């Protein structure tokens, strides 16, 4: 394990071991033992708010596509890293759209929506 004390203005090495939240804190994930995993800082930064399983699947897809990527994971170029981050953001957007659609479909199946137009435009 590489230990590195973070100081202002000094970047962290890409293979620094960090704690990552399975359920991101932005979606209500708590900093408790059951919600924490160890991840390198590069994986932690690439994943962002993405679900852990979705990021793992995306990473496995990258490794199958380029067999040398696993060996050079912490030494890839900035351009390649930027492309991977863009792919993560696109996958996360697709996840959010799918989740929104599922929530909307659930709402329409389980709730009755009352049309207010009749009350608003009623003539006296």
In the chain, where are the structural domains located? 17-120
With a cut of 60, say whether residue 49 has pLDDT above it: yes
Model confidence, pTM: 0.70
With a cut of 50, say whether residue 68 has pLDDT above it: yes
Q: Which residues pair with 36 in a beta bridge?
A: 21
Side-chain half-sphere exposure of 11, counting CA atoms within 13 A: 6
For the beta carbon of residue 20, count every other beta carbon within 10 angstroms.
19
User: Tens digit of pLDDT for each residue in 70-110?
Assistant: 999 999 998 999 999 999 999 999 888 888 888 888 888 77
């Amino acid at each position: 394990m590489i230990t590195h004390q973070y100081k202002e203005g000094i970047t962290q090495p890409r293979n620094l071991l960090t704690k990552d939240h399975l359920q991101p804190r932005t979606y209500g994930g708590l900093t408790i033992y059951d919600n924490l995993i160890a991840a390198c800082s590069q994986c932690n930064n690439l994943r962002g708010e993405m679900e852990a399983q979705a990021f793992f699947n995306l990473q496995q897809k990258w490794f199958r596509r380029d067999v040398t990527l696993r060996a050079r994971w912490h030494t890839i170029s900035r351009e390649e890293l930027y492309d991977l981050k863009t792919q993560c953001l696109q996958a996360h957007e697709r996840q959010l759209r799918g989740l929104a659609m599922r929530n909307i479909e659930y709402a329409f199946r389980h709730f009755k929506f009352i049309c207010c137009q009749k009350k608003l435009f009623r003539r006296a």
